[in-house]
């Protein structure tokens, strides 16, 4: 090698090393919270929305200082009381160019958000987002429920992004979300506790835990949604998800003068919907399941089967169908104490079924549906806890729960208290997404919650097979065409297959026509774990170019898609390079914002460069 070539090579290498060393090892988002006030659930919201580039810390940590905060582009502050020193720290952070989002901010920060001190509170009200603001793009303007307590404030220089109302029919309201410029920085305040509201919208009223409320035999998760907890007239808009999208828009808006950030897409590959199919086997045998499995398999779909006992299902039959991608798991039975399920008895039911499945078939039991959807609402100390069942599942190695189901027949709550049937049936949990549970103290439980929205028994007892299909079609059409995104779970009992066969075959055919796969719950669980463990790091924004690293350690047969805002400042994405190779990207408008989508193979590490011009 000549001296000149050696010097050139050394110079290029030095530039590359210097450029990489300039990349920040600090993630751009910091979450400051505790379990109290549900602040830690903010992390689950960020993961669900695909912002996997955050760090979670406690405001009580001795290392929290102004210099520490200045490492981050955005700080999200959970509901908490502040000291005067902490107040000064946040004012200085924003004044010097930082961006702050707070939920139910302490009155000490009111000047930072452009609002006056609290003048009162409102419980269990509604929120409406202004569609004419940039943050409201693509989000419904209809009034949506919030759960918990909101603080009343008046504006004092801040800009109102959303309005809170005492009741749905209220004409006048008060600021719900405000935005403000302060010094060189930017601040936003949610004047209701967003993470708490998301948990309570999805999981129900914690005060109803361990209580029979709907008059249907057995305590179930659905009892938590009685007494008008859910406004079923807006179930078709996924109101919890819409409010999480608003938080995403707030984050991206605050980054407008900093750098664009990548996100992980909700679904595998670039899909806009996904279907899972389950079957409670009850007391049937493998000869009963065989025809149904063949029907499902013939349309390229897969199914999860939950069985009460192992005496009627052989290991050979289980091996045959699990090799074809079906899932066999246990169906824990605590119906003897369905009226008052206890922690110890439910623990025993879960453990017994899990051990049976493993000892008979060598299969771990990682997803779960209880017989009759029995839901334990008391913890080990016999105290109310609306997530006690999820905590028991976590204890027994269960990672995904499908016990919340749309079933409200012959309830004392009036006809269809969980919402109308057929095309207009939505998700009564306010969400079509799959997220982890939290307990009543706000602590995240490592068990995913999926709603079983398309439930055969509801429609069988209504004598409405067409409604069964239309419920599915409505959910899928809204997910594909209206951005009301849903992971759709369908239940088809084998002992009710005489009713559900025809509409189920129509569902599977409709999904196939729309190129939407039908998975087992186990496949969904593996995808969610892969999606959530993906990490973005090593960010550098210079010369109109964003570079970062995507790390994914869990392999999966489906693609992992990340997306970036196509427009940033007055610039537009011109090129995306992944591991030194130019990559084509899909343009898609999602909730009013134009994104570039790129799909990679999970289980690998990627260095990504995005050129804006």
Distance CA(531)–CA(556), nearest Å, equals: 10
Residue 10 has a pLDDT of: 38
Cα–Cα distances (Å) from 318 to 296, 305, 363, in that order, read 16, 10, 10
Q: What angle do CA 14, 11, 15 make, to 5 degrees?
A: 40
165, 181, 169, 98: which is closest to 129 by C-alpha?
Answer: 165
Q: What is the pLDDT of residues 480-504, one digit of tens each?
A: 999 999 999 999 999 999 999 999 9
Residue 13 has a pLDDT of: 38
Q: What is the pLDDT of residues 499-540, one digit of tens each?
A: 999 999 999 999 999 999 999 999 999 999 999 999 999 999
Residue 269 has a pLDDT of: 97
Residue 227 has a pLDDT of: 97
Asked which of 26-35, 241-250, 278-287, 577-586 is least confident by mean pLDDT, the reply is 26-35
Taking residues 92-100, what's their average pLDDT? 97
Produce one character per residue of 382-418: b if its CB has 16 or more CB atoms within 10 Å, e if not: eeebbbbbbbbbbebebbbbbbbbbbbeebebeebbb
Give me 486's structure tokens: 């849903």
What is the dihedral angle through the alpha carbons of 239, 244, 249, 255, rounded to the nearest 10 degrees? 170
Give me the domains of the chain, ranges plus CATH numbers: 29-192 (3.40.50.880), 274-529 (3.20.20.370), 534-612 (2.60.40)
pLDDT over threshold 90, residue 327 = yes
* % of residues, the chain, pLDDT over 70: 96
Q: What is the pLDDT of residues 11-41, one digit of tens each?
A: 333 434 444 344 568 999 999 987 788 999 9
**Phi-psi domain of 171 (left: phi exceeds 0; alpha: psi -120 through 50; beta: other):** alpha
Q: How confident is the model at residue 63 (pLDDT cuts 50, 70, 90)?
A: confident
- Concatenating the DSSP letter of every residue in 291-337 gives HHHHHHHHTT---EEEES-STTS-HHHHHHHHHTT-EEEE----GGG
Taking residues 540-568, what's their average pLDDT? 96
Distance CA(111)–CA(480), nearest Å, equals: 43
Residue 23 has a pLDDT of: 59
301, 298, 353: which is closest to 327 by C-alpha?
Answer: 301
Q: How confident is the model at residue 131 (pLDDT cuts 50, 70, 90)?
A: confident
Residue 20 has a pLDDT of: 39
Residue 61 has a pLDDT of: 86
Do 150 and 122 touch, CB atoms closer than 8 A?
yes
* % of residues, the chain, pLDDT over 90: 91
Distance CA(91)–CA(66), nearest Å, equals: 10
pLDDT over threshold 90, residue 130 = no
**Mean per-residue pLDDT of the chain:** 94
pTM (two decimals): 0.94
Residue 24 has a pLDDT of: 62
Asked which of 12-16, 104-108, 129-133, 417-421 is least confident by mean pLDDT, the reply is 12-16
DSSP secondary structure letter of residue 118: P
Residue 381 has a pLDDT of: 95
pLDDT over threshold 50, residue 8 = no
Residue 591 has a pLDDT of: 95
Residue located via tokens 């924004």: 541
Do 301 and 322 touch, CB atoms closer than 8 A?
no
Residue 331 has a pLDDT of: 98
Give me 316's structure tokens: 């050979």
Which residues on neighbouring strands pair with residue 328, listed in sequence order? 305
Distance CA(471)–CA(420), nearest Å, equals: 10
Residue 589 has a pLDDT of: 97
Q: What is the pLDDT of residues 358-390, one digit of tens each?
A: 999 999 999 999 999 999 999 999 999 999 999
pLDDT over threshold 90, residue 60 = no
């Amino acid at each position: 090698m000549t001296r000149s070539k050696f010097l050139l090579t050394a110079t290029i290498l030095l530039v590359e090393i210097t450029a990489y060393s300039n990349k920040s090892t600090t993630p751009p988002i910091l979450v400051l919270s505790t379990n109290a006030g549900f602040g830690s659930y903010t992390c689950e919201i960020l993961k669900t929305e695909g912002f996997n580039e955050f760090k979670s810390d406690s405001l009580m940590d001795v290392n929290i200082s102004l210099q520490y905060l200045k490492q981050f582009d955005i700080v999200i502050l959970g509901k908490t009381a502040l000291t005067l020193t902490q107040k000064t720290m946040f004012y200085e952070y924003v004044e010097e160019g930082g961006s702050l989002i707070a939920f139910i901010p302490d009155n000490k920060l009111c000047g930072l958000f452009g609002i006056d001190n609290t003048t009162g509170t409102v419980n269990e009200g509604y929120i409406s987002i202004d569609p004419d603001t940039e943050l409201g793009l693509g989000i419904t303007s209809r009034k949506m429920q919030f759960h918990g307590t909101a603080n009343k404030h008046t504006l004092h220089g801040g800009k109102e992004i959303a309005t809170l109302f005492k009741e749905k029919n209220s004409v006048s309201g008060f600021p719900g979300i405000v935005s403000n410029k302060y010094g060189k920085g930017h601040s936003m305040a949610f004047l209701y506790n967003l993470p708490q509201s998301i948990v309570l919208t999805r999981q129900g009223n914690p005060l109803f835990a361990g209580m029979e409320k709907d008059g249907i035999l057995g305590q179930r998760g659905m009892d938590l949604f009685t007494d008008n907890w859910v406004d079923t007239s807006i179930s078709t808009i996924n109101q919890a998800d819409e409010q999480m999208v608003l938080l995403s828009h707030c984050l991206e808006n605050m980054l407008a003068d900093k750098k664009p950030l990548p996100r992980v897409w909700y679904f595998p590959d670039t899909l806009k919907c996904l279907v899972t199919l389950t079957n409670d086997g009850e007391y049937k045998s493998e000869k009963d399941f065989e025809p149904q499995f063949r029907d499902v398999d013939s349309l390229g779909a897969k199914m999860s089967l939950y069985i009460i006992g192992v005496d009627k299902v052989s290991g050979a039959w289980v091996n045959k169908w699990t090799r074809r991608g079906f899932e066999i798991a246990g169906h824990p039975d605590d119906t003897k104490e369905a009226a008052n399920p206890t922690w110890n008895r439910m623990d025993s039911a879960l453990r017994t079924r899990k051990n049976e499945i493993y000892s008979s078939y060598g299969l771990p039991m990682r997803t779960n549906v209880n017989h009759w959807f029995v839901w334990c609402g008391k913890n080990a100390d016999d105290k109310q806890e609306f997530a006690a069942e999820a905590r028991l599942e976590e204890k027994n190695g269960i990672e995904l729960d499908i016990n919340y189901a749309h079933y409200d027949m012959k309830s004392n709550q009036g006809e269809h208290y969980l919402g109308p049937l057929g095309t207009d049936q939505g998700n009564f949990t306010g969400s079509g997404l799959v997220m982890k549970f939290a307990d009543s103290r706000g602590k995240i439980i490592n068990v995913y919650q999926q709603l079983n929205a398309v439930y055969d028994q509801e429609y069988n007892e209504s004598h409405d097979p067409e409604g069964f299909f239309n419920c599915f079609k409505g959910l899928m059409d809204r997910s594909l065409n209206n951005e009301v995104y849903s992971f759709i779970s369908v239940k088809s009992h084998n002992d009710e297959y005489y009713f559900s066969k025809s509409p189920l075959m129509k569902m599977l055919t409709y999904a196939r026509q729309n190129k939407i796969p039908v998975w087992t719950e186990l496949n969904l669980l593996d995808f969610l774990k892969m999606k959530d463990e993906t990490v973005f790091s090593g960010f550098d924004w210079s010369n109109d170019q964003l570079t970062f690293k995507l790390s994914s350690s869990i392999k999966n047969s489906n693609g992992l898609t990340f997306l970036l805002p196509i427009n940033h400042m007055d610039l537009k994405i011109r090129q995306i390079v992944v591991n030194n190779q130019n990559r084509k990207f899909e343009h898609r408008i999602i909730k009013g914002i134009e994104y570039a989508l790129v799909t990679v193979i999970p289980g690998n590490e990627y260095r990504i460069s995005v050129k804006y011009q």
